[in-house]
């Protein structure tokens, strides 16, 4: 997690079965994503101009999907930053451990679906950016 980079995070195309009745995308166990799926949660009713995230994880892998609407994700590894826009339900952003993320520019009615590799543990979070920055840049161990 100390050496992870924003370049380890990338868009993953999920399957899509299309017919006249609409589309369906399936994520099953770890067949479609590069980690064991242990938890699903979703963000919704996000107020206009609101932002989420503002933390990194020590062990957690996540796939972030715009299940409805759109939003942007800022990724930061303490050296490099990149912004990814999500707006298609069959594309997810893989976020590896050790990456600071902020989610913003939510469209009205956006739903942010998150597939996660572990159950919720507050001890897995790094919520202080200064600490995160120093840790990634080996200013502190």
Binding residues for ligand TYD, rule: CB under 6 A, are 39, 41, 43, 52-53, 120
Q: How far is the CB of 43 from ligand TYD (least distance, A)?
A: 5
**Residue 10 known to be catalytic:** no
Residue 141 Cβ vs ligand TYD, minimum distance, rounded to whole Å: 25
Six-digit token string for 12: 């993953």
Q: What is the DSSP string of 112-140?
A: EEEEESS---GGGEE--HHHHHHHHTTS-
Closest approach of ligand TYD to the CB of residue 133, in Å = 18
Nearer to ligand TYD, 8 or 53 (CB): 53
Residue 110 CA to residue 87 CA, distance in Å, equals 9
User: What is the C-alpha separation between 137 and 77, in angstroms, rounded?
Assistant: 9
Smaller CB separation from ligand TYD, 131 or 138: 131
Supply the residues annotated as catalytic.
Answer: 55
């Amino acid at each position: 997690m100390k050496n992870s980079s924003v370049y380890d995070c990338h868009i993953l195309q999920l399957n899509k079965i299309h017919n006249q009745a609409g589309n369906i995308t399936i994520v099953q166990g770890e067949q479609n994503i590069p980690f064991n799926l242990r938890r699903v949660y979703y963000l919704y009713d996000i107020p206009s101009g609101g932002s989420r995230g503002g933390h990194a994880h020590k062990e957690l892998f996540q796939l972030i999907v715009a299940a409805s609407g759109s939003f942007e994700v800022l990724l930061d590894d303490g050296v490099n930053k990149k912004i990814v826009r999500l707006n298609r339900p069959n594309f997810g952003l893989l976020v590896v451990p050790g990456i600071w993320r902020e989610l913003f520019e939510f469209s009205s009615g956006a739903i942010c679906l998150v597939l996660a590799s572990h159950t919720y543990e507050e001890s897995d979070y790094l919520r202080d950016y200064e600490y995160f920055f120093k840790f990634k840049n080996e200013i502190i161990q």
